[in-house]
């Protein structure tokens, strides 16, 4: 399949390929002259490399942090919360307004609403809507994404005054939270009580609402509401022979329900449920009219030994890791990363009175854990590459010339990520580790030839120049082929496109700088490392600095 090529065939070839080969040959000669110029000034070149490393450190520290990009999953959620005590009729009226707005949006295909349930809890004043969007192919414009629709709906539904409405995107990972954004838990660690915890939560929400880094702040729970308290005089109840089991059973049956049995009715098996009629359980006085059988079998009304009073109390009891807690949810403001939002919440929580602490949960907790492990992950990746090269070359010095090229590739990853406005998330870390390996691969292509040429007796600088000339085209072509192969990821649209663009952008940026700068700096790295670690004029059949195996 591969036929022999005559000498001068590529040079004499006409058309585009001939023009390309002749131009590439001239470029290679200029490249070799430039490398020779830098080798003569290796000290200054290493100073430039040190400046690049410093720039990498600064850019990495300024890069916003995140955990996962917010994917357009083709669905949306609308969480609705009315004031405490709101009836089902009021909740239904609000949901009808929500449906009227959402179904007018061109991105919305259908919508299902559920009354009596939301992420905050269960109750007549809670509701939740599930919105299904049209196919991704019908809304390729970013302004028609789920995130853009959520922002537009938040502004459009803010005029509904009878409830708090929060359009949300599903979490990137199912099961870790109920929506995108952060999940914050404010804890009462000093036993200060429910009222103090509620005041601290309101203080935190007030400070957070003024921050430019946060948006969509909301208490993720049911608010305190009016409650009917039943006070039982134990002495009077005991004197009339009424037990507490009988009282609980009577109240539960009348105001709740009690299953009796099943009975056949016209071929169907139907249940018998005992419950007080609706008109007999509407007012507080109805509770005191309930009768309870005492030990003698006589009916005794609750009013004979009990009284009622109204009070305001919590509708939910939330504990997190053993502490009484308040749930708070929110999102980063447009143009801000989730890492900046988490840091801002931590700063504001530090201004609360003593005795209150906080913890993260869901995706926010995973983001905090992942951020603390990133540097360790990068260090182990570089160490693995270094040890593999040390085993390959049976040398501790030559791999240093390869490892020095890693910051050159990382520079491209950081620049590409910043230019496209992405963050330091899981996909960024995957791309960065990929570039560590690919940058080392490009350096190996040059250093391998330079080492072999030096072992054949050529001088150090002469070997580096010859290797750079021989491997210039392979390095460029393989890097270009890989970059074009990753390009569809960086330009992806539709389902899962956010994660594809995140990883594709970093890898392409790293390959561009890693290939171009590696061709320039790797010969210099080889010469500098071999000069520093050379002990006399000795060469091995494998490596010039192998201990115990050299020829003087």
So what's the pLDDT on residue 538? Answer: 42
Contacts of 478 (CB under 8 A, 6+ apart): 442, 445
Read off the pLDDT of each residue in 195-218 and give the average, rounded to a whole number: 90
Structure tokens that stand for 12 in this block:
């004499």
Query: Comparing 52 with 394, which gets the higher pLDDT?
Result: 52
| pLDDT value at 119 more than 90 | no
Read off the pLDDT of each residue in 306-315 and give the average, rounded to a whole number: 88
So what's the pLDDT on residue 8? Answer: 55
Q: Phi and psi dihedrals of 338, rounded to 5?
A: -65, -30
For strand 164-168 and strand 356-360, is the pairing parallel, antiparallel, or unpaired? Answer: unpaired
So what's the pLDDT on residue 348? Answer: 93
Under the banding of pLDDT at 50, 70 and 90, the label for residue 11 is: low
So what's the pLDDT on residue 507? Answer: 92
Contacts of 224 (CB under 8 A, 6+ apart): 84, 198, 312, 313, 314, 315
Going from N- to C-terminal start, the domains of the chain cover 26-68+368-532, 74-169, 178-220+314-361, 225-313
Distances (CA, A) of 207 to 94, 212, 340: 29, 11, 16
Architecture field, domain 225-313: 2-Layer Sandwich (3.30)
Helix (H) or strand (E) run with residue 75 in it: strand 75-81
Read off the pLDDT of each residue in 160-165 and give the average, rounded to a whole number: 85
Kindly report the CATH number that applies to the domain delimited by 74-169: 3.30.70.1430
Read off the pLDDT of each residue in 20-46 and give the average, rounded to a whole number: 81
Read off the pLDDT of each residue in 466-482 and give the average, rounded to a whole number: 85
- Say if residues 538 and 549 touch (Cβ distance below 8 Å): no
Read off the pLDDT of each residue in 58-64 and give the average, rounded to a whole number: 88
Read off the pLDDT of each residue in 224-244 and give the average, rounded to a whole number: 89
List, for residues 347-368, the tens digit of each pLDDT value.
Answer: 999 999 999 999 998 888 888 8
- Say if residues 389 and 402 touch (Cβ distance below 8 Å): yes
So what's the pLDDT on residue 227? Answer: 86
| pLDDT value at 444 more than 90 | no
- Say if residues 527 and 39 touch (Cβ distance below 8 Å): yes
Contacts of 15 (CB under 8 A, 6+ apart): none
| pLDDT value at 540 more than 60 | no
| pLDDT value at 541 more than 80 | no
So what's the pLDDT on residue 273? Answer: 92
| pLDDT value at 24 more than 80 | no
So what's the pLDDT on residue 542? Answer: 42
So what's the pLDDT on residue 232? Answer: 92
So what's the pLDDT on residue 7? Answer: 60
| pLDDT value at 61 more than 50 | yes
**Looking at 61-70, 285-294, 535-544, which range is the least confident one?**
535-544
| pLDDT value at 215 more than 90 | no
Going by C-alpha positions, the residue among 185, 495, 501, 178 that lies closest to residue 324 is 185
- Say if residues 69 and 425 touch (Cβ distance below 8 Å): yes
Query: Comparing 373 with 47, which gets the higher pLDDT?
Result: 47
Q: Say yes or no: domain 26-68+368-532 is CATH 1.10.10.10.
A: no
DSSP secondary structure, 325-387, as one string: EEEEEEEEPTT--HHHHHHHHHHHHTTSPTTEEEEE-THHHHHHHHHHHHHHHHHHHHHHHHH
So what's the pLDDT on residue 225? Answer: 83
| pLDDT value at 345 more than 70 | yes
| pLDDT value at 108 more than 70 | yes
Mean pLDDT value across the chain: 84
Read off the pLDDT of each residue in 420-445 and give the average, rounded to a whole number: 87
| pLDDT value at 35 more than 90 | no
Under the banding of pLDDT at 50, 70 and 90, the label for residue 450 is: confident
Distances (CA, A) of 81 to 92, 159, 216: 11, 14, 14
Cα–Cα distance for residue pair 449/440, rounded to 1 Å:
14
Read off the pLDDT of each residue in 132-143 and give the average, rounded to a whole number: 84
DSSP 8-class letter at 106: T
- Say if residues 412 and 509 touch (Cβ distance below 8 Å): yes
So what's the pLDDT on residue 175? Answer: 67
Residues of the chain with pLDDT > 90, as a percent, come to 24
So what's the pLDDT on residue 131? Answer: 92
**CB atoms near residue 377 (< 10 Å):** 13
Kindly report the CATH number that applies to the domain delimited by 178-220+314-361: 3.30.70.1440
Under the banding of pLDDT at 50, 70 and 90, the label for residue 10 is: low
- Say if residues 451 and 539 touch (Cβ distance below 8 Å): no
Q: Dihedral sign for Cα 391, 394, 396, 398, please.
A: negative
| pLDDT value at 185 more than 90 | yes
| pLDDT value at 546 more than 70 | no
Mapping DSSP onto H, E and C, the string for 136-164 reads HHHCCCHHHCHHHHHHHHHHHHHHCCCCE
| pLDDT value at 332 more than 90 | no
List, for residues 480-500, the tens digit of each pLDDT value.
Answer: 898 999 999 988 887 888 888
- Say if residues 544 and 453 touch (Cβ distance below 8 Å): no
Cα–Cα distance for residue pair 534/528, rounded to 1 Å:
10
Q: Phi and psi dihedrals of 74, rounded to 5?
A: 80, 5
Q: Angle CA(190)–CA(194)–CA(199) in degrees, nearest 5?
A: 90
Contacts of 313 (CB under 8 A, 6+ apart): 224, 225, 227
Q: pTM above 0.85?
A: no
74-169 and 178-220+314-361 share one fold: yes
So what's the pLDDT on residue 537? Answer: 39
* Matching residue, tokens 């299953």: 259
């Amino acid at each position: 399949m591969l036929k022999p090529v005559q000498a001068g065939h590529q040079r004499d070839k006409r058309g585009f390929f001939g023009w390309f080969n002749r131009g590439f040959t001239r470029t290679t000669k200029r490249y070799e002259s430039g490398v020779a110029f830098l080798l003569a000034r290796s000290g200054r070149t290493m100073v430039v490399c040190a400046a690049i490393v410093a720039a990498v450190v600064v850019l990495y520290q300024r890069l916003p942090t995140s955990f996962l990009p917010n994917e357009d999953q083709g669905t949306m959620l609308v969480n609705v919360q009315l004031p405490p005590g709101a009836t089902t009729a009021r909740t239904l009226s609000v949901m009808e307004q929500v449906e009227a707005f959402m179904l007018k949006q061109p991105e919305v295909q259908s919508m299902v609403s559920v009354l009596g349930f939301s992420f905050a809890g269960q109750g007549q004043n809670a509701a939740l809507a599930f919105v299904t969007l049209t196919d991704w192919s019908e809304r390729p414009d970013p302004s028609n994404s789920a995130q853009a629709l959520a922002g537009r709906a938040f502004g459009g539904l803010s005029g509904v005054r009878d409830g708090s409405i929060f359009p949300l995107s599903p979490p990137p990972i199912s099961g870790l939270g109920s929506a995108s954004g952060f999940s914050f838990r404010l804890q009462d660690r000093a036993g200060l009580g429910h009222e103090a915890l509620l005041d601290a939560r309101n203080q935190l929400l007030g400070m957070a609402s003024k921050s430019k880094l946060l948006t969509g702040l909301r208490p993720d729970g049911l608010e305190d509401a009016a409650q009917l308290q039943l006070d039982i005089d134990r002495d009077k109840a005991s004197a009339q022979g009424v037990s507490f089991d009988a009282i609980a059973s009577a109240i539960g049956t009348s105001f709740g329900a009690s299953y009796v049995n099943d009975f056949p009715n016209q071929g169907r098996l139907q249940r018998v449920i005992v419950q007080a009629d609706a008109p007999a359980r509407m007012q507080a006085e109805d509770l005191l009219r309930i009768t309870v059988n005492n030990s003698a079998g006589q009916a005794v009304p609750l009013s004979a030994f009990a009284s009622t009073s109204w009070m305001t109390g919590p509708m939910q009891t939330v504990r997190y890791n053993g502490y009484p807690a308040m749930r708070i949810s929110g999102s980063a403001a447009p143009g801000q990363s989730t890492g900046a939002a988490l840091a801002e919440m931590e700063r504001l929580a530090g201004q609360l009175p003593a005795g209150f602490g906080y913890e993260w949960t869901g995706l926010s907790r995973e983001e905090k854990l992942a951020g603390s492990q990133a540097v360790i992950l990068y260090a182990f990746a570089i160490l693995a590459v270094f040890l593999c090269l040390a085993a390959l070359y049976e040398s501790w010095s030559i791999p240093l010339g390869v490892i020095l090229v890693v910051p050159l590739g990382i520079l491209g990853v950081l620049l590409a990520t910043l230019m496209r406005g992405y963050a330091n998330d899981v996909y960024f870390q995957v791309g960065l580790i990929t570039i560590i390996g690919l940058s080392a691969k490009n350096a190996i292509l040059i250093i391998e030839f330079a080492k072999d040429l030096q072992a054949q007796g050529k001088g150090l600088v002469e070997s580096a120049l010859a290797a750079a000339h021989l491997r210039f085209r392979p390095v460029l072509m393989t890097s270009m082929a890989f970059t074009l192969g990753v390009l569809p990821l960086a330009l992806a649209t539709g389902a899962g496109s956010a994660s594809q663009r995140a990883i594709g952008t970093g890898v392409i940026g790293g390959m561009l700088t890693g290939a171009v700068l590696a061709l320039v700096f790797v010969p210099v790295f080889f010469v500098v490392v071999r000069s520093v670690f050379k002990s006399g004029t000795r060469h091995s059949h494998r490596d010039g600095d192998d201990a115990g195996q050299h020829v003087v």
